[in-house]
Structure 1
Amino acid sequence: MEEVEVVVAHHDCATLRVGDVFLKIDADQTRTDVEVEAMAMAPIPTPEILWRKPPVLALAALPGKALGRLGEPSTASSAAWTAAGAAVRKLHDAPLTPRPGRSVDELASSLDAECEWLVTTGVLPKNLVERNRGIAETVLRPWTPAFIHGDLQVAHVFVDGDEVTGVIDWSEAAQGDAHFDLASLTLGHREHLDDVIAGYGTDADLDLIRAWWSVRSLLAIRWLTEHGFDISMPGGEIDVLRSA
C-alpha cells in the first residue's frame, strides 16, 4: 500500500504525494487558475495535469530529482545547472502570460514595509537590513517584462542527469523582471551562477541578480516566520543577506 507523504503544508496550501501523483490543495483557486494557465503556455516541460476538482489539483510526478535545495549543497552537475539556465531563457523568450506582475512602486512599498518589520521586531540587526535595502535599490528601475515563473527556487527545477525534465509550482507566474527568476534559481547557490549564465546568455546583469537575492530574502523572512519555517538554517535567506 502506498503511503501519503506531506511534501509541504502551511496556512496557504498543502501538497501531498501518493505514489507518482501529487495532490495540491489550495483554498485560493486564483492561484490554481494561474498555475494551470501558465503550464499550458510555458515552452518548457511541466508536470502533466491528471485532473482538477477544486480545491485539489492532481499532477503527475516528474522524472529525475530536484536540482537542489536551499540550505544544502547541490549534487547536480554543472551541465545540469547550465541546462536549467537554458530552460529559463526559453521561458523568458516566450510570449507573455496575460497576468501582470508587481510594479516598481509596489515592490518598493513592500520592501519598505518588510524592512521596517524586520527592524522593529528585532528579527535582524538594523545595519544588516539597511545594507541589503541599499543593495535592493538596484532593481527599482523600469524593466522589459518577460514571462517569468515567479517562484523559481532551486527545488522547483527537476533534472535527470544533465537534462531538465520539468519545472513545478507555477502559481506565481506573471510578467516581470527576468533577473528575478535567475536570482531565485541561484539564491544560496552562488557557486552555480556562472553555470546558469552559461546556459542563459551573457546579457544577464550579474549586479541585478545579486540585488534580487537581497530583495527576495528581505521579502521572504516574515512569511517564512509566520508559516513555521526555519529562517536561520545554514545557506538560507539570513545567510544570503549576511553575505551580500
Structure 2
Amino acid sequence: MSNKNYNNYSIAKKTIAVVFLSLIGMLNVMAQTGTVTRKFYMKGYNNHPDTCLTTLFINDGSFSGLNLTLSCFDKGVKIKAGLETKNRPNCLTDFINELKFIKEKYIEWSSIAKENGVKKYSKEIGYYKNNPALFLQATKNGFEYYQDMKIAAIHEVHAMFNVDEKGECNVFMGWNGIPFIRTKGYNEGMLTSYPIKETFSVSQVCFNFNSEQQIQSLIDALNLETAKSELLNKTEKDKNLDSLFK
C-alpha cells in the first residue's frame, strides 16, 4: 500500500471512529429523556418524618422542569409545587446551592445551640429573592385547585433556624394564606355562560427540616447528573428485557 493510500485509509478509519462515537453520544443523550421521581424527607406532624416526592423532567440530557410535594398543615389538603424555569435557566442549581448553604448553617448553629443549652430561639439564616419560584397546585376532597395569578405564589424565601423548648433544632421556610381557585361549573345563559368559581386558602405551606439528613435528602433528590444516569440505566435495562421477548 502506498503512503498516499495508507494516509487516506488512516484518515477514513479516524473519521469512522469519530462518527461512531458521536452516534453513541447522541444515543446516550436521547436515552436521557424522561422523568425521575425520588423521595425526600421533612419534619411532619408529631415530629414524625414526612415523606415527600420530587419529579425531575429531563429532555435530551438537560433539565426541563421540576415538580415536588410540600408539607401543608391543612387537613385533607395536598400541595404540589412546580419550579418556574421559563425565565430562570439556573433555577435548579441556585435552589441546590441555597439548600447546601442552609444545611451548613444548620449543622453549625445546631452544634452551638446544643453546646450552650439554647432553648426557644429563632434567627434568620438567609433571605432569598425570586428563588425558588414555585407555582402551586392544591388537591382538596378530590378536586384540583390552582393559583389565580400570573406570577409564582412562592417567590421569596426566609429560611429560619429555630430551637424549641426542648432544645430541638429545625429549619423552617413557610408561606401563609395562599389562595387557590377552581371552576366547578358554568352558569348557562341565553347567549353567554359564566364560570362558577370556588376558592379557598391554605393556612400554611412549608419546607420543614429537623436534621441535616433531611436537608441532604432533598439535595440528593435534585441531583441532575445521577438522575440522568438513572434514565440511561433504565433504558439499558428495558433493552435487556425486550431481548428476552422475541
TM-score by length of 2: 0.20
Q: Which has the higher contact order (CA 8 A, sep 6+)?
A: 1
Higher gyration radius (CA):
2
TM-score normalised over the length of structure 1: 0.20
